[in-house]
Every structure is written in structure tokens, then in C-alpha cells.
Amino acid sequence: MAIEGRNDRAQGPIRLGMVGGGKDAFIGAVHRIAARLDGKYQLVAGALSSTPEKARDSGRALGLAEDRIYDNFTQMAKREARMKSGIEAVAIVTPNHVHFSAAREFLTRGIHVICDKPLTSTLADAKKLAQVAEKSDALFFLTHNYTGYPLVRQARQMVADGMLGQIRVVQVEYPQDWLTVEQHNKQADWRTDPERSGAGGSTGDIGTHAFNLASFVTGLVTESLAADLQSFVPGRRVDDNAHVMLRFKGGARGMLWCSQVAPGNENNLRFRVYGAKGGLEWHQENPNELMFTPLGQPRQVITRAGAGMLQSVAGTMRIPPGHPEGYLEGFANLYSEAADAIRAHQAGKPAPSLVPGVQEGLRGVQFIDACVRSSYRNAAWVNLGEKSL
């Protein structure tokens, strides 16, 4: 429920807090850039590290007022919820195992949550967080940032408009190479530790992006999957490569490959969608081009802000054709749309949004869980809704 006395309807930038994202945290800096790109947020508070001294140093480096720098997120949630000028929203940019407890603290106090993916580190926590979000008056957003790219939105609309006909085949992949050999640094250590990342390695870190993108673009719902997971690097306790076959409601079929041990690949996320009337192809590393091939016709190249771009997507672009937009701008689109939804919600108006929410997050954790269960059973077909191991 909303907190009595809070000045939630103030105009101007949304007062934003942050959990995690302190010194040397890559994703925290990305979230801060995305939040301020369109001028819709002001970072005013933070619990930026699990180490109090580092949290203090990080807050001072960002120019936060001394009394708005917190040693932990519980302390922050309690105090900010009581303040008339307390934060209206919080960005959670911690390792996966902290997402549930941090999001719960703020949602139960009526503070909107913008959380990095995956939703949580376990399916049990994902289900509990979905229940918390359902009961809260606050909104919950999950930053599957690739859904914010203009040409991803274009592809989604083209599918919805029937330009591909009935969807038959979906192929999506996200290979990287940065964990091809054993690594010991801040980013690698928590991603390969199942206590912090959850049971999924590459499936949780980047496979969830691919899985979410397949659903976002096509509108299809995955019923079951068969997954073959590997941990190629000796001693690694989570998967670093996965081949997954997908069965969608309605009869479409799909394949998903995610890998962090594929030399020559940096962030090579891509999708291919084929229907009865045509096909689409998009590559994240060249995000300003979308390939469209109507059946029996030459391939067309649709460029961001160029000819063939749908008017409904125009609001996701900031600069003229020929100037590349990508990762940071796509991330910023989610923050901008979340801000609009928050302001609408505060005004008592409907708050429709394409930003993924808690249900999409729950499906993502179900995907990870199903992949682990399937691989444990020698790549047997399993339903996403089955009980976990």
C-alpha cells in the first residue's frame, strides 16, 4: 500500500535510490546512465555495497548526501519510506541472490522497483516475489534491456501485425567468450558461484535474455523444453554452454543456444523468426539493421529511423538515421517507460508498459529451472510449470 504522507505525486524527476552498483560495478554505472539519459530520474539515495565502508565511499563519489547513504538496503527502505521526500523508486543492481530480499523490502513499503535480471536466484524465491508484487501497490520492472532496442520493438510489431503469418520456427542465441578459461575477478566470481548466481550459469546470465527476447518478439509462450547443459571449464559449478530445444503453445518450435565459452563472440545476441509468409533476423552487435524477407521476395534491410520503420516505434529513438543507437539507449528506453508508468500510476491512471515485469521474470526463472532439470534427466523434455528438483 502507499505510505501516508509520502509526496509521491511531486512533478519533476523521479527520486531514485539504488541497491548495489558501487565502485567497480559495471551494471550499476549502466543503470545510472540509463536513468538519467532522458532526465526523468534523480539519484538521491543508495545502499551501494554490502560492505559499509565501500557503500559510504561509493555514495560520496556519486555526490549523495551523507544522510542518504546507507549501510544496507533494509535500513534504506525503512527510512526512505517514512520521509516525505523519500525515494519513489529503487534500482536493484546486485548479484542475483540479493534480488528477492531487496525487492521485497521496498515493494512492501510502496516503493516502485526496477530490478536487474534474472528475477531471483531460485524458483521458490521467484514465486514468492511474484506474490509480493501482486499484493503491493508499487510497480515492478525487470530490465531485460534488449527489449528496449528500436528494431526489436519493430520486429515485435511486425509479428503482431501478421506480416510473417503464423510463426513456425524461432531461433535465438547469445554466445560470448569471456569465460572460455577460468577467470577470477568480481564479475566472474559471483556469476560462477551457484550460491550467488543460482543454479544456472550461462542459462541464467545470458540465456534468460535470449529466452525473454524470443517471447517478447513473437508473443509465443514456451510449454516445454529439452536442454543439454555443459560445464566445459574444469571445476566450474554452473553451466557455461547450453543447447535448448523449445516447444511453444500453438505448435511453433524453437532452438536456443547460449554460451560463454565460444571464442570470437563478444555479445553476439541474435534472433531469427520464420512464419508462413516471411522471416526476420536481427543481430545485437549490429542493432540498427533488421532483415525482413517476405516469402518469394528479395531480402529487405530496415534501418533504425529509416524507410520502413513503423511510426509506433518512433518514440524509442533519439537521433537521426545513420547515427548508431544501441545498448545504453535501449536500456534508457526501459527506464523512460518505467518513469511514465510510475507517474501514471501515481495519478491513478492506467499504466500500460512494454517493460518486462514480475511475470516475465518468473517465466525466466522457470526457464533456468527447467533447463537444469532437463539436463539432469539426460536432456528429457520437461514442462516449465513442473516442480523443481
Sequence spans of domains, the chain = 14-138, 150-316+364-376
| 170 alpha-carbon distance from chain centroid | 20
Q: Which long-range contacts (CB under 8 A, 24 or more apart) does 24-33 make?
A: 24/186, 25/93, 25/186, 26/187, 27/93, 27/116, 28/93, 30/327, 30/328, 30/331, 31/91, 31/93, 31/114, 31/116, 31/143, 31/331, 31/335, 32/62, 33/328, 33/331, 33/332
What is the Cα–Cα distance from 231 to 260, expressed in whole angstroms? Answer: 10
What is the Cα–Cα distance from 44 to 306, expressed in whole angstroms? Answer: 38
The pLDDT confidence band at residue 108, using thresholds 50, 70 and 90, is very high
Q: What angle do CA 81, 82, 87 make, to 5 degrees?
A: 40
Which residue's entry shows cell 508462413?
Answer: 276
Which of 70, 111, 105 minimizes the C-alpha distance to 89? 111
The half-sphere exposure of 164 on its side-chain side, counting CA atoms within 13 A, is 25
Beta carbons within 10 angstroms of residue 316's beta carbon? 23
The pLDDT confidence band at residue 385, using thresholds 50, 70 and 90, is confident
Which of 355, 210, 364, 202 minimizes the C-alpha distance to 282? 210
Per-residue pLDDT tens over the stretch 336-353:
999 999 999 999 999 899
pTM: 0.94
The pLDDT confidence band at residue 168, using thresholds 50, 70 and 90, is very high
Strand order in the sheet with 167-175: 300-303, 289-294, 278-283, 270-275, 167-175, 253-259, 241-248, 222-230, 382-383
| 278 close to 292: Cβ distance less than 8 angstroms | yes
pLDDT for 11: 74
Residues 6+ apart with CB under 8 A from 245: 225, 226, 227, 253, 254, 255, 256
**Per-residue pLDDT for 5 more than 50?**
no
pLDDT for 23: 87
Please state the CATH superfamily assignment of the domain spanning residues 150-316+364-376 in this structure: Dihydrodipicolinate Reductase; domain 2 (3.30.360.10)
CATH number of 14-138: 3.40.50.720
What is the Cα–Cα distance from 273 to 168, expressed in whole angstroms? Answer: 8
What is the Cα–Cα distance from 251 to 208, expressed in whole angstroms? Answer: 22
Per-residue pLDDT tens over the stretch 223-236:
999 999 999 999 99
